[in-house]
Amino acid sequence: MYVLASKWARSMMAWPLGIAISREAPESIVRVRSEYESSFLITVGDVVTMNTIKYWRVPNLAFMDLKTRRTIDMGMEITGFDKVINIINRPATLSIEVINAIRGAMREAMGGSRVLIQVDGEEDLLAIPAVLLAPKGSLVLYGLYTGYLIAIPVVDEYKLAMFKLFLMMRPGNA
């Protein structure tokens, strides 16, 4: 298991690691949609995923924990996915099992299935392996707690940034 151990590394996750869009949905989604219409699409987080489905399309791969602001959202209706994969991801961690599950889900999504990874635990850090494992030309969307929509076009520069963030993690226990 890899742990986001240092305070500095944790603070890095509070910064937008991509293109920050300050508009609320639907304007933020419409802006991204106009530039990345045909991209392989990955969403991280419940609000981002639901807004993307509502105002654009079902992502190829999505990560949700079925919580909004850390409270369970029982009214959330999730439709449009061909497969749901359940994983456990402890806060501030990435395990080899989680990374392997994402790798398998990515393969299925690249094969044409719409895949939802339902996370018991924290889904925020899953943007790191999502960017690292996604095919070039993909788009990863996630929400920052400050209200920004973050768009990460999967290109070498962003893959390198995510790899550097991953290297800040240390083997250990959370």
The residue ranges of every structural domain in the chain are 2-171
Q: Per-residue DSSP letters for 141-159? A: EEE-TTS-EEEEE-SHHHH
Q: Name the band, by pLDDT with cuts 50, 70 and 90, for residue 68.
A: low
Known binding-site positions: 46-48, 65, 67, 123
Considering the entire predicted model, what is its pTM? 0.88
Q: What is the pLDDT of residue 7?
A: 59
Cα–Cα dist 114/108, whole Å: 8
Report the relative pairing of strands 83-89 and 67-68 from DSSP bridges: unpaired
Cβ–Cβ under 8 Å, residues 100 and 87: no
Cα–Cα dist 59/81, whole Å: 8
Q: What is the pLDDT of residue 171?
A: 72
In this prediction, residues 131-157 reach a mean pLDDT of 93
pLDDT at 170 over 80: no
The average confidence (pLDDT) of the chain is 86
Q: Tell me the percentage of the chain whose pLDDT exceeds 90.
A: 58
Q: What is the pLDDT of residue 118?
A: 95
Q: What is the pLDDT of residue 144?
A: 85
pLDDT at 15 over 80: no
Identity at 72, one-letter amino acid code: I
pLDDT at 173 over 80: no
Peptide bond into 16 cis (omega under 30): no
Q: What is the pLDDT of residues 22-54, one digit of tens each?
A: 888 899 999 999 888 888 999 999 999 999 999
Known binding-site positions for GTP: 46-48, 65, 67, 123
Cα–Cα dist 144/47, whole Å: 10
